Amino acid sequence: MNIAWSLLAIAAAFVTGWFLLRILWPADQHHRDPAAFAVRICLALGLGQAVAAVHYLLWRAACSHVGLPYKLTDCLLVPIVAWLAAHLAQRMWPAERNESEEVAPLPSPPRLCVGILLIVTALVASAALCICLAQTCDKPLGEWDGWAIWNLKARFMFRGGADWTGMFSRHIWFSHPDYPLFIPASVARFWTYLQGETTVVPQLVSVAFATLVVGLLFASLAWLRGLVPACLGTLLLVSYEPFLVYGGAQMSDIPLSFYVLAAVVAVAIAGRLLVLSGVLIGCALIVKNEAQPILLALLVGLFVVPPSGGPRSRLVVPPSGGPRNRLKAVLRTLLGATPFLLVVAAQKLFFAGASYLVADQPSAGAFLHKIIDPARHRTIIEFLVTWNFGFHLWHPFWRIPLAIPLPDQPSLLLLLAIPIVCGLRPDPRDRPAGLTVLIAVALTFILYYAVFLVMPYDLRNLMESFPRVQLHFLPALIFAVLLLTANPAACSRDR
């Protein structure tokens, strides 16, 4: 019975996400494209899960008991309200069908090559999923942050009754009371349906988001650029080692990277979907505090290069240029993010207090001291260069003293090599979105650098977390680079 309730909860979240998506991304010609349909499914799953988590949080905050009324509201009322809203939106703003806007099929290389690449990609991605599952089976309580932060909060929510706010106590400062509550709420919600705690729930949530981020990257690139870039993007992501390590670690980095990628994909579809992009980056805000600089970077990116009209942006912000249109693009995104911003602001104002970034600084002057300390800059840059572009020696034959230098992170070097070799030749419809995302990622990188610089803890230890922090924007970066690069399949046929 409890399993049936849980399956119903998953279905209800998906249905809610699907109907909300119909409001923000009205059904149009793309529904015939299987890749676009897959993008829709990934976005609906993510959106529905975020709405369900917020609903659980609100219910917890409003009334401590989560019993049958909660389940009925969650599984029936919320999807029905979403359906009514979608129905109403369809009547008020009927979708314009324009067959001329059909996306032109991209040239493809000989079928056999693509087929082989697809099979290799499928095998590698499946193996990556197996690794994530194995990692999570190996550590059922998750990695350190998994049990010490996210699952701890989930236990407070599930077991706590009226005392669930104990999680914000200053006595357990190590669990970071100001951290957003998407992961704990998602886990506690399923525990509520199952009427018991099991480590299987956080394990599945973790692996599900790893699968979703791979699925969304593949589907969105297959839709916008073709199968070869989709395969390359997927291979580059899964061969970034921290992705395999943290895919089943029950931490929030990969869910965050999913919502960042989703927001970026929505920017690529552009137009009215900027509100959808805002909603999705809003979902990221309730996953992790790091989404705040990412939101800021995305808004700056949209202001610098606003999305222009084009076949994929039917309901457009008018063609680029003009501060008014730029501002409109920013405001639409901000409008979408507002409900989630309010949830985060409420948590920080009424429950959590100041972030450790500010609260743990010994003095106001400490900020300045850290910023101008050359040793801290050197530590960060050294780590970044060594991690991303370091080499190790590989000894293929143990009897023969032959050593071949191999890159530590081949995926990043190859990601740089692709635009250099293939050249930048984006579809004109995708150029603004690709540039927006590149600016946003570059700015995010700078903001992260600044945060690492002023963190009030031992910098060398902190930098150890950089490889997984890089995961926040890596799928979005892969997406943007492949969006702007000439399709390798078309290039190799042209010549």
Partner 1 sequence: MRSQVIRILVVLVALSGVVVVGRTFRETDPFHHVGFGAWQETAQDRFSAMARRYVPLRPHLRGLEAVGWLTSYDHEMGHRMMAQSMLAPTLVIDSEAPEIVIASFETNAELDACLLTRSFQVQRRFGEGVAILKRRAR
Q: Which residues make up the interface to partner 1 (CB under 8 A)?
A: 117, 120-121, 124, 127-128, 130-131, 133-135, 137-144, 147-148, 151-152, 155-156, 159-161, 163-164, 166-167, 169, 171-172, 174-175, 199, 228, 231-232, 235-236, 238-241, 244, 410-411, 414, 417-418, 421-422, 488, 491-495
Contact 389, 413 (CB under 8 A): yes
Q: Rounded to whole angstroms, what are the CA distances from 68 to 127, 144, 303, 378?
A: 40, 34, 46, 57
Supply the minimum distance, in Å, between the C-beta of residue 356 and partner 1. Answer: 14
Residue whose CB is less far from partner 1, 126 or 386: 126
Per the CB < 8 A criterion, the answer to whether 317 and 328 are in contact is yes
Residue 407 Cβ vs partner 1, minimum distance, rounded to whole Å: 8
The answer to whether 353 touches 175, Cβ cutoff 8 Å, is no
Q: How far is the CB of 351 from partner 1 (least distance, A)?
A: 15
Nearer to partner 1, 416 or 446 (CB): 416
Q: How many CB atoms lie within 10 A of CB 12?
A: 23
Question: 277, 333 in Cβ contact below 8 A?
Answer: yes
CA distances from 365 to 112, 368, 372 (A): 63, 5, 11
Q: Which residues pair with 485 in a beta bridge?
A: 424
Q: Which is nearer to partner 1, 61 or 148 (CB)?
A: 148
Report the number of secondary-structure helices (H) and strands (E) in the chain. 24, 2
Nearer to partner 1, 378 or 395 (CB): 395
How far apart (Å, rounded) are the C-alpha atoms in residues 53 and 252? 14
Residue 490 Cβ, how far from partner 1 at the closest point, in Å? 10
Q: From the CB of 74, what's the least distance to partner 1, in Å? A: 22
Query: By C-beta, is 86 or 236 nearer to partner 1?
Result: 236
Q: How far apart are CA 374 and CA 371, in angstroms?
A: 8
As measured in angstroms, the least distance from the Cβ of 160 to partner 1 is: 4
- Torsion, Cα of 214, 15, 36, 325 (10° steps): -100
Q: Which residues contact 391 (CB under 8 A, 6 or more apart)?
A: 405, 406, 407, 408
Please state, in angstroms and rounded to a whole number, the distance separating the CA atoms of residues 484 and 251.
Answer: 31
For the CB of residue 330, give the shortest distance to partner 1 in the complex, in Å: 35
Nearer to partner 1, 46 or 184 (CB): 184
Least distance to partner 1, CB of residue 346, Å: 21
Q: Which is nearer to partner 1, 6 or 136 (CB)?
A: 136
The least CB distance from residue 114 to partner 1, in Å, is 10
Q: Which is nearer to partner 1, 12 or 418 (CB)?
A: 418
The residue among 205 and 341 lying less far from partner 1, judged by its C-beta, is 205
**Token pair recorded at residue 40:** 């829709």
Among 314, 311, 313, 256, CA closest to 280: 256
Instruction: Select 88 or 130, whichever has its Cβ closest to partner 1.
Output: 130
Instruction: Select 93 or 391, whichever has its Cβ closest to partner 1.
Output: 391
Do the Cβ atoms of 474 and 257 come closer than 8 Å?
yes
Nearest approach in angstroms of CB 382 to partner 1 is 24
Give me the least distance between CB of 10 and partner 1, in Å please. 23
Q: Name the helix (H) or strand (E) containing 406.
A: strand 404-407
Return d(Cα 389, Cα 446) in angstroms, integer. 18
Residue type for 129, please?
A: L
Identity of the amino acid at 32: R
| Min dist. Cβ of residue 184 to partner 1 (A) | 11
Q: In whole angstroms, how far apart are CA 76 and each of 42, 341, 345?
A: 22, 26, 28
CB-CB contact of 20 with 82 (8 Å) = yes
Considering the complex, state which of residue 441 and residue 482 has its C-beta at the smaller distance from partner 1: 482
Other C-beta atoms lying within 10 Å of the C-beta of residue 51: 23
Q: Measuring CA to CA, how many Å separate 221 from each of 38, 231, 419, 479?
A: 11, 8, 15, 7
Helix (H) or strand (E) holding 267: helix 253-269
